[in-house]
Amino acid sequence: MHTQIPFLLLFLIMIPLMKSAPDNTNLVYKGCAKQSLQDPNGVYSSALSAIFGTLIQQSSKLKFFKTTSGSGQASISGLFQCRGDLSNLDCYTCVSRLPILMDKLCGKTVAARLQLLGCYMLYEVSGFAQISGMEMLYKTCGSSTNGGGGFEERRDSAFSALESGIGNGNGGFYTTNYESLYVLGQCQGDLGTSDCGECVKSAVQRAEVECGRSVSGQIYLHRCFVSYSYYPNGVPNPKKSSSSSSSSSSSSSSSSSYPSSSSSSYTSPSYASSGMTS
């Protein structure tokens, strides 16, 4: 019988975004369970290999997929999700990196989660305790703006547009521009429209509190994330408001801007001082 340990008790290590040009395969953060995977007969290893193989295969045509391998207490569940604006090829390239990175960065543990800039993957053994989809896993905030008054009002208006757009059944992914601000939100692919809207609303509130007057920020909750960037000279290569189904089998490729940030942390409500600052 496997000991249940909450995801909040993961050994959380933050690795900051690289300051070079954005790359979908750059590592954002990792979460590795403290408990090693006891697998003398190789049952879990076989199930995990099957999970990885299935997820990689599905990433060539889907943006989100969830599966289970094994049976009973020896089963493992896993999923991947790509950012909604990635092409099928970019999604596949991103997801294909994750199993190797998981093994390198986490080893064999009962659960692991890796977030790259363009995709993430998660697996858990049977019996692994669940947490709320609105728990904050990671945040990163840019430098404070000195662009004068009105920034927070413009940012909040952009967030309102994001909440409205993602809450109107847009497949769990939405981006928009508003007065030199570019905002993006995405929910885990199996969230319903209502739950997705609530999750993004919670992430937006976190961004407003955690990042304040920062010119950019990213807030990752367990089942959704939001990102915003401020461009005083206007958003480069303006993007129209857009949406994309998280399970769509086709999507046009476009680049999203994630400026370098001045502070970032992987947070856990159970350990107030567990966040690390770059």
Q: What is the pTM of this model?
A: 0.77
133 contacts: CB under 8 Å, gap ≥ 6: 188, 191, 195, 199, 221, 222, 223, 224
Which residues in the chain are classed under CATH 3.30.430.20? 7-125, 136-266
Contact present, 181 and 230 (Cβ < 8 Å):
yes
Distance CA 196, CA 245 (A): 13
For the record, the structure tokens of 258 come out as: 């994630």
Confidence of residue 132 (pLDDT cuts 50, 70, 90): low
Q: Which fold has domain 7-125?
A: Killer Toxin P4; Chain A (3.30.430)
Average pLDDT rounded to a whole number, residues 90-112:
95
In this predicted structure, the answer to whether residue 228 has a pLDDT above a threshold of 50 is yes
Q: Please provide the distance, in angstroms rounded to a whole number, between the alpha carbons at the two ends of the chain.
A: 39
pLDDT score at 5 = 41
Average pLDDT rounded to a whole number, residues 81-101:
96
pLDDT score at 261 = 37
Average pLDDT in the chain: 79
Assigned superfamily of 136-266: Gnk2 domain, C-X8-C-X2-C motif (3.30.430.20)
CB atoms under 10 Å from CB of 157, counted, come to 14
Confidence of residue 182 (pLDDT cuts 50, 70, 90): very high
In this predicted structure, the answer to whether residue 246 has a pLDDT above a threshold of 80 is no
More confident residue, 96 or 232: 96
In this predicted structure, the answer to whether residue 260 has a pLDDT above a threshold of 50 is no
CA 191, 112, 210, 83 torsion: positive or negative?
A: negative
In this predicted structure, the answer to whether residue 135 has a pLDDT above a threshold of 90 is no
pLDDT score at 128 = 78
3-state SS, the chain, equals CCCCCCHHHCEEEECCCCCCCCCCCCEEEEEECCCECCCCCCHHHHHHHHHHHHHHHHCCCCCEEEEEECCHHHCEEEEEEECCCCCHHHHHHHHHHHHHHHHHHHCCECEEEEEECCEEEEEEECCCCCCCCCCEEEEEECCECCCCCCHHHHHHHHHHHHHHHHCCCCCCEEEEEECCEEEEEEECCCCCHHHHHHHHHHHHHHHHHHHCCECEEEEEECCEEEEEEECCCCCCCCCCCEECCCCCCCCCCCCCCCCCCCEEEECECCECCCCCCC
Q: Which of 22-31, 73-82, 243-252 has the lowest mean pLDDT?
A: 243-252
pLDDT score at 235 = 82
For the record, the structure tokens of 234 come out as: 């206007």
In this predicted structure, the answer to whether residue 198 has a pLDDT above a threshold of 80 is yes
Confidence of residue 249 (pLDDT cuts 50, 70, 90): very low
pLDDT score at 266 = 43
Distance CA 17, CA 222 (A): 19
Distance CA 207, CA 219 (A): 6
More confident residue, 130 or 141: 141
User: How does pLDDT run across 137-168, given as a tens digit for each residue?
Assistant: 999 999 887 656 788 889 999 999 999 998 77
